A and B are shown apart, each in its own frame.
Chain A
Amino acid sequence: MSAALVVPGLCLYIAVSCALAYIFPQSVLAFLLVEASLLLLYYVHISDRVKFLLGGLVLLVLLPVLGFSNAYYFEIAIQIGIFVALALGLNIVVGFVGLLNLGFVAFYAIGAYLWAVFGSPQANNFVPAIMGGWFPLSANWFFVFLLLSIVVGGAAGALLGLPVLRLRGDYLAIVTLGFAEVVRALVNNLDKPINLTNGPRGISPISKPPLFFKPLLEFFGIQVSDAALYPMYFYFLVLLLVCVIILVTQRLENSRVGRAWKAIREDEIAASAMGVPVVRMKLLGFAVGASFASAVGVLFAAKQVFINPESFTFMESIGVLAMVILGGMGSVPGAILGATGVTILNLQLLKGLSLWLNGLRQSGAVWSIPLLGDLSLANLPAQFEPAKYERMIFGLILILMMIFRPQGILPPKQGAKK
């Protein structure tokens, strides 16, 4: 396609896909087309300014409009944003520094519980009665805790890293896994002797962030209910967080620190011989990744209103790892693509397929298959639901990617060594 046609063509595509998604609010496919427009934007060769303009248009204007027509779109977009942020954090540890962290979700949990405990009445259970009644903290503290979580997450990462970063790669992987299991077991069981986390019952209600812009909206005469406002608010918060993380990651990647990380990844002994402070740099990478995850956790807790240990299983760690590997270790666009792809697969494609199969089952139709005879769809086992087999899909992604394309779909540009 000639260059002159690319931009109008893209605009047309975006307009059509958005219109489709607007007209058919139930259609998974139409929304996928909208999401694909961002991928297209990344791939086409047009000037960066036009790219940012169009991308901004989609993310800042069109998606919110779609979301207002159907809050489900916001939900999907927020989930994607959360996983993109997590994948970017893990990408620093696995992709840049080359340390396999199988317990990444632990830091996510630390952030989430940090806000959950203090942003709900939960903290009254263990804070002395003199100060009792302080909790839940007012919503305005949310942003303080967002910053605090970066510090706490980073500290937790450094604390775990200090003793274990001298271990070899595969031992490190197992120790981080063990750490995540310990964190989960603690969260699960620390409802006694002192009730810190309320155990498996989880914590709720958790305060949402403050609607500080509401007076402004009312000043302009816009009346929107809080319930309609929050999804959009979270959408923009997640978007902002992702943008900040991308910015920080890119600045780090092209700095002295980023070069040191990659040197360690390629050859630790050579890097050390060149004067790279190996342990300190590894520790820094570990802490930066952990602090991202922890900040995302705060946002997650505020969005969910209710959290329990079930959200922070080993499965989540592997899911995020699959995202990073699918996209390409060490590549920021790759991590974004991987996270988006896997989340869409999980939330939309598999669920859609399950619903479709359920519909077939209820329709009770009979298919004749040659050689096998008649297959009554009503007899499809109820256990056979694609949405329940995400482990199988993650597993296949990991194996196939390792065998056929270990560098991922969008490998980092200067890479291709080895």
Chain B
Amino acid sequence: MEIALEILPQVLLDGIVLGFMYALIALGYTMVYGVLEFINFAHSEIFVLGSFVGVEVLLLLQSAGLLATLHPALILLLVIVTGMTISGLAAMTLERIAYRPLMGGPRLVALISAIGASFFLQDALRLFESLWRNTFYLNYPTLDFLDRNLPITASLTIPVKSLLVIVTAILTLLGLHFFVNRTRMGMAIRAVAQDPDTASLMGVPVNRVIALTFFVGGALGGLAGVLFGIHYSLVNPYSGFVPGMKAFTAAVLGGIGNIPGAMVGGMLLGLLEAFAASYLSILTDGAFGAEYKDVVAFVVLIVILIFRPKGLLGEAVRESKA
């Protein structure tokens, strides 16, 4: 029991960091689902793309000798903005090529295309990195200003990396909230999510709003990718699948299509996973350990879908487009 209490702050911190990342990725799933009722299966690769753009920018800065000379804030800004932009553009392109021709058809057709896109992107990234760097397992360069610990109390310190994730995520989520609820474009997104046909009659350019939604969702995924890379440092083209699945679980947990729901779901799932990773082996006396944390997430998904398919904050799910 003493160990359990001792590691509690650490577990909470891990859970919160993980939770914010899941929330950021989950927003991409949930926003696209909101406007199209479609699971963008390739979103996990958009997320990985963000990680790769981040590492490439940092490596390029490093080889140019700028990593030590530029101001840390500028470096972070550069990495994050590039990662978000490229991921967002990639998501938009994906929508244009692989999804838009299929909209209006059976939903499974679009889903299968998305799965194909996901697989294609994984190997495309691998091919690119193999040709460019001769390896596709990349390490983020260490950034000295992030490798510190911030003391909170005498016994508790917070790594600056974790703080970066938390602060960036909170700022982004606030920004998103403002964008969706207070701007014209946000209003257009909400209108299309509510009823695309009527929105179109009211003069909302539905296709452009859908593209915008993909851009915003992709950019959030890209941000999560950059933060993920900075925090865990190792990236490979296949590392998106599991976080992607979990983020989707988070989106469903919070009620898919629902933006605050994705944040709540992501946070809950992150905490749950951190607790499972640390406490499962304590609770079961070592019989089951951290290796079951993925199982916990998937079981949560199955259980929610069975007992509360609309999620925690979900509205009634429309059946009209079936």
* A, B assembled together: yes
Given known A169-B107, A181-B298, A182-B295, contact A381–B131 (CB-CB < 8 A): yes
Q: State which of A173, A392, A394 has its C-beta within 8 Å of the C-beta of B111.
A: A173
Q: Which of A178, A388, A389, A402 has the most CB of B within 10 A?
A: A402
- Please give the distance in Å from B229's CB to the nearest CB on chain A: 21
- Please give the distance in Å from B264's CB to the nearest CB on chain A: 19
Which residues from 373 to 418 on chain A have a C-beta closer than 8 Å to any C-beta of chain B? 381-384, 388-392, 394-399, 402-403, 406, 418
- Contact: B302 with A392, CB < 8 Å? no
- Please give the distance in Å from B121's CB to the nearest CB on chain A: 7
- Contact: A384 with B287, CB < 8 Å? no
Hey, which chain A residues are within 8 Å of B110, CB to CB? Answer: 402
A189 to B281, CA, bound (A): 13
Hey, which chain A residues are within 8 Å of B322, CB to CB? Answer: 168-169, 268
Hey, which chain A residues are within 8 Å of B121, CB to CB? Answer: 395
- Please give the distance in Å from B319's CB to the nearest CB on chain A: 8
- Contact: A383 with B292, CB < 8 Å? no
Hey, which chain B residues are within 8 Å of A185, CB to CB? Answer: 291-292, 294-295
Given known A185-B294, A321-B112, A392-B124, contact A171–B119 (CB-CB < 8 A): no
Q: Interface majority SS on B: helix, strand, loop or mixed?
A: helix
Interface residue count on the B side (C-beta < 8 Å): 53
- Please give the distance in Å from B166's CB to the nearest CB on chain A: 28
- Contact: A383 with B123, CB < 8 Å? no
A189 to B286, CA, bound (A): 13
- Contact: B108 with A100, CB < 8 Å? yes
Hey, which chain A residues are within 8 Å of B292, CB to CB? Answer: 185, 189
Hey, which chain A residues are within 8 Å of B277, CB to CB? Answer: none
Hey, which chain B residues are within 8 Å of A398, CB to CB? Answer: 112-113, 115-116, 119
- Contact: B119 with A178, CB < 8 Å? no
Hey, which chain A residues are within 8 Å of B275, CB to CB? Answer: none
Hey, which chain B residues are within 8 Å of A169, CB to CB? Answer: 107-108, 111, 322
Hey, which chain B residues are within 8 Å of A406, CB to CB? Answer: 105, 109
Which residues from 15 to 55 on chain A have a C-beta closer than 8 Å to any C-beta of chain B? none
Contact with A along B150-172 (1 / 0, CB 8 A): 00000000000000000000000
- Contact: A100 with B120, CB < 8 Å? no
Chain A residue with Cβ nearest B111: A170
A381 to B54, CA, bound (A): 24
Given known A167-B309, A193-B287, A321-B112, contact A396–B120 (CB-CB < 8 A): yes
A402 to B112, CA, bound (A): 7
Q: Taking the complex as formed, is B248 at the interface, i.e. its CB lies under 8 A from any CB of chain A? A: yes
Q: Taking the complex as formed, is A211 at the interface, i.e. its CB lies under 8 A from any CB of chain B? A: no
Which residues from 162 to 216 on chain A have a C-beta closer than 8 Å to any C-beta of chain B? 163-164, 167-171, 173-175, 177-179, 181-182, 185-186, 188-189, 192-193
- Please give the distance in Å from A340's CB to the nearest CB on chain B: 20
- Contact: A399 with B98, CB < 8 Å? yes
Q: Taking the complex as formed, is B47 at the interface, i.e. its CB lies under 8 A from any CB of chain A? A: no
Hey, which chain A residues are within 8 Å of B113, CB to CB? Answer: 398-399, 402-403
Q: Taking the complex as formed, is A314 at the interface, i.e. its CB lies under 8 A from any CB of chain B? A: yes
Q: Which of A171, A394, A399 has the most CB of B within 10 A?
A: A399
Chain B residue with Cβ nearest A102: B115
A100 to B301, CA, bound (A): 17
A402 to B306, CA, bound (A): 30
Hey, which chain B residues are within 8 Å of A318, CB to CB? Answer: 115, 119
Q: Taking the complex as formed, is B60 at the interface, i.e. its CB lies under 8 A from any CB of chain A? A: no
- Contact: B119 with A394, CB < 8 Å? yes
- Contact: B302 with A100, CB < 8 Å? no
Q: Taking the complex as formed, is A98 at the interface, i.e. its CB lies under 8 A from any CB of chain B? A: yes
Q: Taking the complex as formed, is A325 at the interface, i.e. its CB lies under 8 A from any CB of chain B? A: yes
A88 to B262, CA, bound (A): 38
Q: Taking the complex as formed, is B127 at the interface, i.e. its CB lies under 8 A from any CB of chain A? A: yes
Q: State which of A170, A192, A399, A402 has its C-beta within 8 Å of the C-beta of B39.
A: A170
Contact with A along B102-139 (1 / 0, CB 8 A): 10011111111101111111111011001100111000
Hey, which chain A residues are within 8 Å of B291, CB to CB? Answer: 185, 188-189
- Contact: B305 with A164, CB < 8 Å? yes
- Please give the distance in Å from A176's CB to the nearest CB on chain B: 10
- Contact: A384 with B130, CB < 8 Å? yes
- Contact: A403 with B98, CB < 8 Å? yes
- Contact: A175 with B112, CB < 8 Å? no
Chain A residue with Cβ nearest B134: A381
Chain B residue with Cβ nearest A193: B287
Chain A residue with Cβ nearest B285: A193
- Please give the distance in Å from B100's CB to the nearest CB on chain A: 10
Q: Taking the complex as formed, is B78 at the interface, i.e. its CB lies under 8 A from any CB of chain A? A: no
Q: Which of A177, A397, A418 has the most CB of B within 10 A?
A: A177
A403 to B294, CA, bound (A): 34
Chain B residue with Cβ nearest A322: B116
- Contact: A383 with B309, CB < 8 Å? no
- Contact: A391 with B241, CB < 8 Å? no
- Please give the distance in Å from A332's CB to the nearest CB on chain B: 20
- Contact: A325 with B112, CB < 8 Å? yes
- Contact: A389 with B287, CB < 8 Å? no
Chain B residue with Cβ nearest A163: B306
- Please give the distance in Å from B238's CB to the nearest CB on chain A: 9
Chain A residue with Cβ nearest B301: A178
Hey, which chain B residues are within 8 Å of A186, CB to CB? Answer: 295
Q: State which of A163, A168, A178, A382 has its C-beta within 8 Å of the C-beta of B298.
A: A178
- Contact: A402 with B123, CB < 8 Å? no
Q: Taking the complex as formed, is B245 at the interface, i.e. its CB lies under 8 A from any CB of chain A? A: yes
Q: Taking the complex as formed, is B101 at the interface, i.e. its CB lies under 8 A from any CB of chain A? A: yes
Given known A163-B306, A402-B102, contact A391–B107 (CB-CB < 8 A): no
Hey, which chain A residues are within 8 Å of B124, CB to CB? Answer: 392
Given known A185-B291, A321-B112, A381-B130, contact A164–B302 (CB-CB < 8 A): yes
Chain A residue with Cβ nearest B136: A383
A174 to B250, CA, bound (A): 13
- Contact: A178 with B302, CB < 8 Å? yes
13 A-B contacts (beta carbon < 8 Å): A102-B115, A167-B309, A168-B317, A169-B111, A171-B252, A175-B301, A181-B294, A193-B286, A314-B241, A383-B136, A389-B123, A389-B126, A403-B113
Top 10 closest pairs, chain A to chain B, by CB? A398-B116, A395-B120, A383-B130, A395-B119, A392-B123, A178-B298, A402-B113, A399-B116, A193-B287, A391-B119
Q: B residues near A, CB below 8 A?
A: 38-39, 98, 101-102, 105-113, 115-124, 126-127, 130-131, 134-136, 241, 245, 248-249, 252, 286-288, 291-292, 294-295, 298-299, 301-302, 305-306, 309, 317, 319, 322
Given A179-B298, A392-B127, 4 extra CB contacts under 8 A: A100-B108, A185-B292, A193-B287, A389-B126
